[in-house]
């Protein structure tokens, strides 16, 4: 059986990665999202094992020590990571798996020999930095300090786009999703 592809999707906070991914999951059969683990508290309407695996700091650290993570990073004082089991359960069955991860996590996965032949990396860009600013403010789920931190981080993430095989500008969700589908089919 042919292994599935591992599709990394990264981009600054507020660029629309989650919305694009939800559209992709509706349109593409045999495509799965690897649910990330985090130590942050759930936001309104987020549920455990659906949006994230919400772990205590101790649980997360224990899983790091056991080698359970494909990648993990610290962002805004919280740990985020992808459990290896979230990827292998689908890839081994020939399904494609999306990893929604930041540029540091993407670099860690890109450096793994295990997935190098099945890896597709896509960076989602905002049309303009002003669009990103407006999207973050429009969410109304982040404090001003969080927004400022995310905008600062966006500048660092944009500097890492050279490590990605593809760049997609999110002018509209449907256009971005269709462009990603074309990339997946091409690969």
SS3 91: helix
Tell the residue number behind the tokens 């300090």, with chain if given: 145
Q: What is the per-residue pLDDT across 37-94, written as a single tens digit (0 to 9) for each? A: 999 999 888 999 989 999 999 999 999 999 999 999 988 789 999 999 989 888 888 8
167 half-sphere exposure, CB direction, 13 A CA radius: 12
Structural domain contains residue 39: yes
Q: What CATH number does residue 85 fall under? A: 3.40.50.300
Structural domain contains residue 32: yes
pLDDT of residue 52: 93
Structural domain contains residue 1: no
- Please choose, from the candidates 167, 168, 128, 169, the residue with its C-alpha nearest in 3D space to the C-alpha of residue 151: 128
pLDDT of residue 137: 59
Domain ranges, residue 48: 6-186
Structural domain contains residue 67: yes
pTM for this structure?
0.86
Whether residue 142 has pLDDT greater than 60: no
Work out the average pLDDT over 146-168.
81
Tell the residue number behind the tokens 């407006």, with chain if given: 134
pLDDT of residue 15: 87
| Total domains present in the chain | 1
Contact 116, 51 (CB under 8 A): no
Structural domain contains residue 178: yes
């Amino acid at each position: 059986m042919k292994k599935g592809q591992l599709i990394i999707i990264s981009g600054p906070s507020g660029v629309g990665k989650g919305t694009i991914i939800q559209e992709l999951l509706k349109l593409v059969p045999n495509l799965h999202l690897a649910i990330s683990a985090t130590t942050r508290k759930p936001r309104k309407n987020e549920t455990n094992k659906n949006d994230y695996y919400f772990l205590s700091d101790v649980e997360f650290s224990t899983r790091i020590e056991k080698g359970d993570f494909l990648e993990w990073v610290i962002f805004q004082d919280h740990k985020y990571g992808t459990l290896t089991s979230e990827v292998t359960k689908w890839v081994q069955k020939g399904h494609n798996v999306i990893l929604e991860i930041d540029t540091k996590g993407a670099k860690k996965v890109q450096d793994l020999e295990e997935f190098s032949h099945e890896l597709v990396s896509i960076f989602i860009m905002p049309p303009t930095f002003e669009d990103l600013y407006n999207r973050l403010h429009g969410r109304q789920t982040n404090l001003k300090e969080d927004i400022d931190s995310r905008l600062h981080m966006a500048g660092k993430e944009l500097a890492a786009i050279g490590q990605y095989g593809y760049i997609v500008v999110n002018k509209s969700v449907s256009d971005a999703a269709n462009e990603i589908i074309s990339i997946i089919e091409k690969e």
